Chain A
Amino acid sequence: MRKPWTRNLKSSCLTGSLLIAGILPFQAHAALGEPEASVATDVQQFQASVKSTLHASYRVHEIQLPSGTLLREFAVPGGNVFAVAWKGPAVPNLRQALGQYFDVYVGAAKLKRGGRTHIEVHQDDLIVQSGGHMRAFSGRAYLAQAIPAGTSTAELH
């Protein structure tokens, strides 16, 4: 219902990194739960291109991965990344995208399985939902407490 004001920053991998790194202090770690600046690290690590769009209460960094998969990272402007979502032919490098939460995901996933085409993990604040099959995967991970007020989880995809 909210029509967000959007600003598109379409750029190559290198300039995309510079743009974001130029605005915000550089961080060496990956995205989920990290400052928005860490998106630049992901873009660099993934050798990807990025397009950033500002919505009412968050900014979406759309990272086009070489595999063809689109990785979207949701951040509070100037704050932290609170969600990542992916869709495309390959599962992205989730260790990079989930950062410190990757090990939590792996640990929790061992205990709870939802079939080969679907997995859902709820571990404290972390929710990871991953689905799909060969050539078509989608999923997302978010920190429930960090979602900005007024933002629905339905927007996080």
Chain B
Amino acid sequence: MKFKVKSSWVVPLVAIIAGFVVGAIIMLIFGYDPIQNYGSLLSGAFGGVYSIGETMRNMTPLILTALGFSVASKAGFFNIGGSGQYLMGWFGSVIVALHFSNLPGWLLIIISILAGALLGGLWSGIAGVLRAYFGTSEVITTIMLNYISLYFVNFAVKDWLAGKGADSSPNIPAKASLRGNFLENLTANSTLHWGFLVAVLVCFVVWFYFNRMKSGFELRSVGLNEQASKYAGMNVKQTIIAAMLISGLLAGLGGALDGLGNFQNISVSNSLPQVGYDGMAVALLVNYSPIGIIFSALLFSALQIGGMSISVFSDTPTEIVSIVTAAIIFFVAIKYVIELLISKYNKKQKSKKMTIKQEGSGE
């Protein structure tokens, strides 16, 4: 059999399978039952409308941090600061929702979301400006900005938002929430909120931007080769800054939707939100394809939501899910080997077919 699947799907599919195999082997080594655990993972993620609702809700920030990472990557930058930008977005949306609570609901939601997205964009925009004008590596600056945002948000939550001695802000007013009765009734009171639809919609917008818009073309061009883009008359500096800005805007939007839809408040935390790094994994799996990100986010969200059931039904540590995630990305990273193996396999099949044909014609 020759692989009939579209070639861009082969590497992710092989990587996913290999990642699950690695997880299974590790479970076997430590005496856990992979079949039982993958079973509870599956039912935990999709075993009912409630689980499905939770999985979809969890996709929302993954999609947006992944899109953010993709935009920067397409422009040739490694924006490792998704976590910080997401956190700033979350913080921005909550503080605005709390501060302007006397505005009408629809307006409050819009400006809260915008505030979050803009704060996220500002955060990555700093890295963009430094890169464009000083050539400072965005890898380092975004990492540093991650930690600055962590300590800053902790400080701001404690000093500005939380009551004395408390570690969390009050909840946002109900009218600013993205949750709705319709979705809650549909999914047996899961935390699914309207932000999910926004996230999916944004995937299509980003696809259109990359593939059909002038500015998206320029962004990809700069990502491929700055010198050639300059030669073609593009404004490279402006494109770099725009790319980083959009990248953070998307991650910030993810934080805002999560803040208004999922958390409804913001708390002090001693580590950076993992979702920024998970978004990188989501994007890497499908090689930055905005539409592919929907499927990839579904997979990783299901792993996370389903993964929680693993430790409910057995004593397997839930971290096995993160190991599977990391393994999948490892196999994506070494796609050269996967492609080599597949092309060898296909060649073999081809030569087999040819010998069969020759034998046939020989008769």
Task: Tell me, yes or no, whether A binds B.
Answer: no
